[in-house]
Every structure is written in structure tokens, then in C-alpha cells.
Amino acid sequence: MIKYYIEEEVDFMSNVLPNHVAIILDGNGRWAKKRLMPRTFGHKAGSDNLVELAKYCNRIGLKNLTVFCFSTENWSRPSDEVKFLMALLKDVFERIFKKMDEGIKIKVVGEKENLSQDILDIVEKVENKTKDNTGLNLNIAFNYGSRDEIIHAVKEMVENKEEITK
């Protein structure tokens, strides 16, 4: 669960900030379960924190934030949970879309297959609307997985080798 506490913002922060921060969004379901709440409660709380975190990172001048929010392995979760997560993804994009005045540039990376057309439409809308923004670059890694990345890399290497040997 992403949670951050800021007692006061300090002017020197922009001098010590890294160029890029990456976060794996994990543990929201376990966080909720410890509080005797449904896993979906944790996912919703995590998404609320993500929106606030992105706005904060933008405000302090962080240039790049990548969040890994749904791996290929997550498709094997119970179908009700996956449906909830897809609806939550759409909701997060709609909430971010209403905050375009924040100056955040949003890019979704990863495989977009398996996404419904309504989610693809809002992803495209948000990416197009924010493409010229100059604030935080928020990269949302969706439908990614280490196994898939390795397979993709090997296939690309084989294709490149075939092209080189021609």
C-alpha cells in the first residue's frame, strides 16, 4: 500500500531528487485483509494514494515516476477481483483526466491486449490530452511480467539475428 507522510515541504528537495522513481504497487489486498476489509477496499485505497502521490511528485519537481500496477500474473486472480481492478483502472484514469491542470504527462506502457475498448479509449484520451504537458512523466506499467519480458526479448533477438543474417 502506498502511503506517504509529509510534515513540511522543503525548498532544497529539487536539488536532491532522483531523476526517476519506480514503484511496484503491491500489498493493497493484504493491507485490507489485515484490517478485516475486502481486498477491493485495499485496491481502492491504494489508487487514491497513487493519485495523491503523483500530484505530490509533480509538485516537488520529480521528473519521472513509473508505477507497476498490474502484472500479467494478476489475470489469474479471481474474476470478480480482476473485474474490480479493471473498473478501478478506468476510474483512476477518469480522476486523473479531471486533473489535467496539474501538468502531469501520462503514458501507459506494457501490453494493452486484454483491455476492454472503453479502457483503451480512456487511456488514449488521457495520453493524447497530456502528451504536451511538461510536469511529471507518469508511466503506468500495465499488463507486464518478467516471463513475458524475457520471451519478448528472446523473440526480438531471434528476429534481429534473422534480419542481420539475410
> How far is it, in rounded angstroms, from Cα 33 to Cα 31?
6
Provide the pLDDT for residue 15. 64
Provide the pLDDT for residue 9. 52
**Confidence (pTM):** 0.74
- Asked if residue 42 is part of any domain, the answer here is yes
pLDDT above 80 (res 1): no
pLDDT above 50 (res 34): yes
State which residues form the domain around 86.
16-165
- Asked if residue 3 is part of any domain, the answer here is no
- Asked if residue 6 is part of any domain, the answer here is no
The DSSP result for 30-53, as a single string, is: HHHHHTT--HHHHHHHHHHHHHHH
Calculate ∠ Cα 44-45-46, nearest 5°.
90
Question: Catalytic residue among 49, 74, 133, 148, which?
Answer: 74
Reported confidence tier of residue 13, pLDDT bands at 50, 70, 90: low
User: Comparing 65 with 161, which gets the higher pLDDT?
Assistant: 65
- Asked if residue 154 is part of any domain, the answer here is yes
Give me the number of domains the chain comprises.
Answer: 1
CATH number of the structural domain spanning residue 147: 3.40.1180.10
26 is catalytic: yes
> How far is it, in rounded angstroms, from Cα 114 to Cα 165?
35
Provide the pLDDT for residue 76. 84
Q: If we measure between CA atoms, which residue out of 5, 45, 55 comes closest to residue 25?
A: 45
Mean pLDDT of the chain: 81
- Asked if residue 7 is part of any domain, the answer here is no
53-105 confidence digits (pLDDT tens) = 888 999 999 999 999 888 878 888 888 888 888 888 888 877 766 655 678 99
Three cell numbers at 23? 514503484
Cα separations (Å) of 117 from 10, 91, 112, 113?
43, 14, 10, 10
Strand order of the sheet with strand 105-109? 20-24, 64-71, 137-144, 105-109
Q: If we measure between CA atoms, which residue out of 13, 107, 7, 3 comes closest to residue 51?
A: 3
- Asked if residue 86 is part of any domain, the answer here is yes
pLDDT above 90 (res 132): yes
- Asked if residue 29 is part of any domain, the answer here is yes
- Asked if residue 9 is part of any domain, the answer here is no
Question: Catalytic residue among 26, 91, 133, 148, which?
Answer: 26
Percentage of the residues of the chain whose pLDDT score is greater than 90: 20
Cα separations (Å) of 128 from 16, 108, 111?
31, 11, 18
Provide the pLDDT for residue 77. 86
Provide the pLDDT for residue 39. 84
